[in-house]
A and B are shown apart, each in its own frame.
Chain A
Amino acid sequence: MLRGINDLGERAAFPFSAIVGQTSMKRALLISAVDPAVGGVLVFGDRGTGKSTAVRALAQLLPKMRVVLGSPYNIDPTSIPETDGVKSRLVPVPVVDLPLGATEDRVVGALDIEKALTQGERSFQPGLLAQANRGFLYIDEINLLEDHLVDLLLDVAASGENLVEREGLSIRHPARFVLIGSGNPEEGELRPQLLDRFGLSVDVATPEAIKDRIEVVRRRDAFDRDPTAFYEKWKRKDAQVRRSIVSARERLESVDVPDRALERAAALCMALGTDGLRGELTLMRAARAHAALEGEEQVGEAALDFVAPMVLGHRLRRNPLDDSRAVTRVEKALAELVG
């Protein structure tokens, strides 16, 4: 069964390029598509601001990937040493939805009871982590997810590997995926440990200008009335975005990171007092992916400054009596870094 939500056969998702505004959310998603090592995207914001829409739109947009035919883990044919006789095919990049209420056996995988009962065979039924390998794992309302599942996901996301020890099975399989979480801060806070694991974090809000709000509703209305026609209309724009992802991926390694940029990143992290090297490392990676998407050859000040709020905003120590938004603090620190 195809569980990816980018199942075009059924119903086209709202096109990515037709999403009005929400620049940083869209850019954060594209950065994670260009360089998965950036470490996932957290999207927080009010209800009805198109968080889920954007993730589903991304799924539809991503270039297809090649997998070994019949592999339950989406194995990359170029990653196995002996390719003779191995058949492969192009499939959509999985964007796997992890619904609330999912049980551990479905997430990590478990003994296939059907096979066990009917054929007396001990075999592994892969879970959602297997399906998400080389793709995206999307969790809506991530702040409501059960703690034990959160712990499990963090562990797997960090190691890139899913280790299953249950019911007499001992299985290990690759599970590298980009974690995308969305939620509404009014429904509860996210644990700081979890927050810190996400590479990027963006806040979304309803567009300020009424002109934009009108455009949002106008496009949505058009999509509702005729999804196929709407999809056709935006297909070319979406293809452009897809091409920019592909070329950014190709050029990513060759984007130069000058010392100037490294210094600025370090100075910024120091000014904001973010812990450890994770912030700095992510800042560089995200800035590089952003520069690649912009078609630039090296990471300049503009790229760094653009990604700084989404990289550092959620890593700041919180002072509950300080009302200013984290992003504002990052922007202030940026302004103070002259030169």
Chain B
Amino acid sequence: MTANLPFTGVQGQPLHAPAPIPGDDVRAMVWADSCMAAACFAVAPAGFGGISVRAHAGPVRDRMVAHVSGLVKGYGPLRKLPVHCPDDRLAGGLDLAATLSQGRPVAQRGLLSEADGGVVVVPMAERAEGLVVTRLLNALDSGKVAVERDGLAHRLDARVGVVALDEGLDDHETLAPALADRLAFSFDLRALSIRDCVSPTIHAADVEAARGRYEQRSEQGEIVEAVMAIADAFGVRSARIGLFAVRAAHALAALNGRDLASQDDVGLAARLVIAPRATQLPSVEQTEPVEDEPSEQDRPDPRDQEQADPKDRSDLQADDNSMDQGPLDDRVVEAVTAAIPADLLQQLKLGAAFQSQSSRSAAGQGAVRMAPQRGRPLGSKRGRIGGHQRLHVVDTLRTAAPWQTLRKRERGNAGVASSVDVRADDIRVRRFKHREESVTIFVVDASGSSALNRLAEVKGAVELLLAESYARRDYVGLIAFRGSAAELILPPTRSLVRAKRALAALPGGGGTPLALAIDAGGQLASDCRKRGQSPRVVFMTDGQANVGYGNASGRAAAHADALSAARRFATERLSAMLIDTSPRKSSKAAELSQAMAAHYLPLPHASAEGITAAVAAAASSVGRG
């Protein structure tokens, strides 16, 4: 490292510790656990909400989907839900052909109600947005789909289980948090190869037998207590997740041909449901022996975990009630800890407070996706179909309706086949009001020691901007660069709550990879633009790059890289400004801002209010991209 980097005093923990490469036994365990979770799900798909499978499209995922499909076969319909399914196909709507031929509104069912009592598979679920997510949530919560549209009003049963296939590449590309929260099981198969996928030991016949037993399950208060104690120890507070784990314990018992759930069932249920959501490791006082968590190598063999020794089991059942208030069974803690995904475990071990569960889930893009992106519908207007105009069937019919008697009379016996006489004048097309949402993206230098002060101001500015803009429904996002990477700290959001949480955890220190930062800002901005939003990018830096592409150090090279990134940025014609935070005007920052065609603003003693004012002023002078 170069000497002028004030590295001391700042603990250089990488933001994301590299996930350890899993060993054979760990991969085998992941696969075995996933198969077991799939079996539980198949016992009562709607009761468990569903499974999310994080995996790339490929043979491993295909094997898992085939496994799940095999287990739920004969249970109910299995339907595939395309993620961009229009609402009338998803929830039901007007049957256009039948409506026109019969001269009265005819409703058609949607995919969700057709799948009632069965399972829907959602490929590319991480891209699901808006109404699709909401429909799924409602179906999962109430077992119904409600339609109040186009003159139709219906409530149809839609008791479904969901298999969400998540192909997201990074932490910011995940299922909408509200959806993830309603699916009992989630597993990450990305590290597996097809060789790890041994044939599952549970078959459709076992699941079918288990269903009847599961239906008859009886009350076991001690199971609830044990599950909740484990959930608590691992920092999982959601009652919904606790309930899922209780059901999983019952389902596991049923799958093993038992009427009552045992402590082993509880342990495995906790592994399957609670482990992936852990936000902490059990504290030392509670469970002494786990003081040093098992390292990757120490992880117990999965076969030991699942098929616990029969005599062990009877031991455990003997003191079934011992667990409720006392310390947790060490082996359960171990088993659950072992099942925590490797990268999550790493973070928990680091005690990385900045990645609490809530901020983890908040890091998804659910909220952004839920927002209307394409202008709000404003009813209909008189028009011609064609081009971009979309026919508003119901309003067209409504317009035509009052004239039907007259037109029939007028037509006399001319004998036109159509039941509804629709004329050109009746045609109504959909109207949208396109209100562009603006997104302000801060790209902030978080390197070096002085960054810490500057970060405080930036945090303040982001919060102020959000507070000012929330009435206008504008978004604010934040990219921080330091060390050797630029990272998306806050995906564009309107939520002050989320912003505060993400910002509170923002660390500082390290090198200055300016080129990467410019690229990241440009990338996010053009993504926003593709979504129909109008982005503006605010860079806050002194322009002193010292880390170039490929982690190259050296100021000259880093500056050259930053300049070429800036010129590329300029070709995107994005609205941008560069706030020069160095104590004196820096020629490098000015040069950069010129190269990227950004508005240049030296602001040596920036305060939160000053930055906010500058951004607001620039927004009105630069105008919207």
Contacts and interface: CB of A to CB of B under 8 A. Distances in A.
Interface string B69-113: 000000000000000000100010000000000011100000000
Given A185-B495, A186-B177, A221 B243 contact: yes
B232 A210 contact: yes
A318 B398 CA distance: 46
A220 interface: yes
B309 interface: no
Contact of B367 (A46, A97, A187, A321): A187
B13 interface: no
A97 B154 CA distance: 12
Contacts of B318: none
A125 to B, nearest CB: 7
Nearest to A97: B146
B138 interface: yes
A interface, size bucket: 35 or more
Contacts of A221: 219, 224, 243, 246-247
A90 B480 CA distance: 62
B588 interface: no
Interface stretch (A116-124, A247-255, A328-336): A116-124
Interface in B378-400: 378-379, 394, 397-399
A41 to B, nearest CB: 19
Given A113-B394, A116-B398, A188-B495, A125 B151 contact: yes
Contacts of B405: 120
A142 to B, nearest CB: 12
A249 to B, nearest CB: 29
A214 B230 CA distance: 11
A48 B181 contact: yes
A47 B147 contact: no
Nearest to B499: A320
A99 interface: yes
Given A97-B146, A101-B134, A111 B153 contact: no
Given A113-B398, A141-B134, A217-B228, A189 B146 contact: no
B238 A48 contact: yes
Given A186-B495, A323-B500, A117 B103 contact: yes
Contacts, number: 191
Interface stretch (A63-71, A102-110, A259-267, A290-298): A102-110
A184 interface: yes
A146 interface: yes
A55 to B, nearest CB: 11
A144 to B, nearest CB: 5
Given A99-B147, A221-B219, A318-B467, A186 B379 contact: no
A188 B491 CA distance: 13
B514 interface: no
Contacts of A140: 138
B402 A168 contact: yes
B171 interface: no
Contacts of A103: 148-150, 377
B241 A102 contact: no
B131 interface: yes
19 contacts: A47-B238, A101-B135, A105-B151, A106-B150, A116-B404, A117-B397, A148-B433, A185-B495, A186-B495, A187-B178, A191-B471, A210-B228, A217-B242, A217-B243, A220-B243, A320-B464, A320-B496, A321-B463, A323-B500
